[in-house]
Amino acid sequence: MANFYNCNRCPAYCCSYPRIPVQETDVLRLAKHLGLPTETVARKFTKKGDEPGEVILRHQPDETYGSVCRFLDRETRRCTVYEARPGICREYPGACRCGYYDFLSFERRVQEDPEFIPSTFNRPGT
């Protein structure tokens, strides 16, 4: 089935979700990929979520969305651990459309600016 979104044209909005849950197998895969001890990866890149037993990805500050996952390269807007990314990142958006990409495409069309990024964060004058 064809996809109606293109992540290469998007500044990785989905990597800005505050709650991106990961499983133990995700942390093990990331540790192997990075060549680091599992405890180091868990400490540096994950933290407890609000739900019981939940572990989520840690964030870093970001000019576009306020904060994003620590694994995102903020210049290229690409995942630095793409081959080893968590399962939930592989599954998203779980459909042939991405709601944010539809919004992004619409705004770029009406603003007549193919690089436009709709964001209320850090908007001048607000």
Q: Which of residues 30-49 bind ligand SF4 (CB under 6 A)?
A: none
Min CB(125)–ligand SF4 separation in Å: 26
**DSSP state letter for 12:** -
Structure token digits, residue 40: 């180091």
Residues in the chain: 126
Quick check: 86 binds ligand SF4 (CB under 6 A)? yes
Min CB(123)–ligand SF4 separation in Å: 20
33, 67, 100, 117: residue in contact with ligand SF4 (rule CB under 6 A): 100
31, 41, 46, 71: residue in contact with ligand SF4 (rule CB under 6 A): 71
**Which of the stretches 48-56, 58-66, 87-95, 114-122 binds ligand SF4 when contact is defined by CB under 6 A?**
87-95
Packing angle of the helix pair 24-34, 38-45 (nearest 10 deg): 110
Quick check: 12 binds ligand SF4 (CB under 6 A)? yes
Burial code of 9-34, b = ≥16 C-beta within 10 A, e = fewer?
ebbbbbbbbeebbbeeebbebbbeeb
- Would you say 8 and 62 are in contact if contact means Cβ atoms under 8 Å apart? no
49, 67, 93, 117: residue in contact with ligand SF4 (rule CB under 6 A): 93
